């Protein structure tokens, strides 16, 4: 998201307030270059699954700068290499649009969470039908190298997954070319 954001968008995009309250053993899916790493509590045990091995170096460098240890797996969220009910929280930001099989990934996230534990997410989602943003999202989704489906109804997919409770707030933020991009931010409880 670029450019000047409204107060509501700024609040929703704030990564610190999303992940800082998490405790214990935390799994982050698709951390990219580790942009969220500085915001986790220092005492938390951080495990990341990032299929793009090329990003692992950047994550490790950032972790060193922060003086924290990390455990990284080159895997996708559709097959999380962790035991059932073994993490206290899962976090993901701008990832579910990239995951090949989002329903399989949500089932895996649920599986690794301890009962009652939470998945926190921040995602861009499909714009309302008929809008210019939606038309462009539709085109982008069909670009073979894009690796992202911006026209995905991630909120509805989350609500249809097997969590005990899913809550999110939605707003729009200014994206590329000044487009108003809908975002969701919330929690899914196992």
Binding residues for ligand SAM (CB under 6 A) = 29-32, 35, 49-52, 55, 76-78, 93-95, 98-100
The smaller minimum CB distance to ligand SAM, of residues 41 and 51, is found at 51
Q: State the nearest-atom distance from the C-beta of 77 to ligand SAM, in Å.
A: 4
Distances, alpha carbon 115 to alpha carbons 71, 73, 88, 111, 186, in Å: 23, 23, 9, 9, 18
Two tokens at 51?
A: 């299929």
The smaller minimum CB distance to ligand SAM, of residues 2 and 165, is found at 2
Q: State the nearest-atom distance from the C-beta of 119 to ligand SAM, in Å.
A: 13
Distances, alpha carbon 140 to alpha carbons 24, 25, 190, in Å: 38, 36, 33
CB 44, CB 153: distance < 8 Å: no
Longest dimension (CA), the chain: 48
First to last CA, the chain: 30
Q: How far is CA 55 from the centre of its chain?
A: 16
CB 94, CB 148: distance < 8 Å: no
Q: State the nearest-atom distance from the C-beta of 37 to ligand SAM, in Å.
A: 10
Q: State the nearest-atom distance from the C-beta of 135 to ligand SAM, in Å.
A: 21
Q: State the nearest-atom distance from the C-beta of 99 to ligand SAM, in Å.
A: 4
């Amino acid at each position: 998201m670029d450019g000047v954001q409204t107060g509501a968008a700024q609040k929703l995009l704030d990564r610190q307030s999303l992940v800082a309250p998490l405790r214990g053993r935390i799994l982050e899916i698709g951390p990219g270059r580790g942009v969220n790493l500085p915001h986790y509590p220092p005492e938390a045990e951080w495990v990341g699954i990032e299929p793009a091995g090329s990003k692992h170096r950047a994550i490790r460098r950032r972790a060193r700068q922060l003086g924290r240890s990390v455990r990284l797996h080159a895997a996708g969220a559709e097959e999380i290499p962790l035991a059932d009910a073994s993490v206290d929280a899962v976090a993901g930001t701008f990832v579910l649009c990239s995951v090949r099989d989002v329903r399989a990934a949500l089932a895996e996230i649920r599986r690794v969470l301890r009962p009652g534990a939470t998945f926190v997410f921040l995602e861009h989602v499909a714009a309302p039908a008929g809008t210019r943003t939606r038309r462009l999202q539709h085109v982008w989704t069909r670009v073979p190298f894009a690796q992202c489906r911006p026209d995905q109804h991630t909120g509805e997919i989350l609500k249809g997954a097997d969590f005990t409770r899913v809550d999110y707030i939605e707003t729009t933020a200014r994206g590329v070319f000044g487009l108003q991009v809908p975002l969701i931010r919330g929690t899914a409880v196992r």
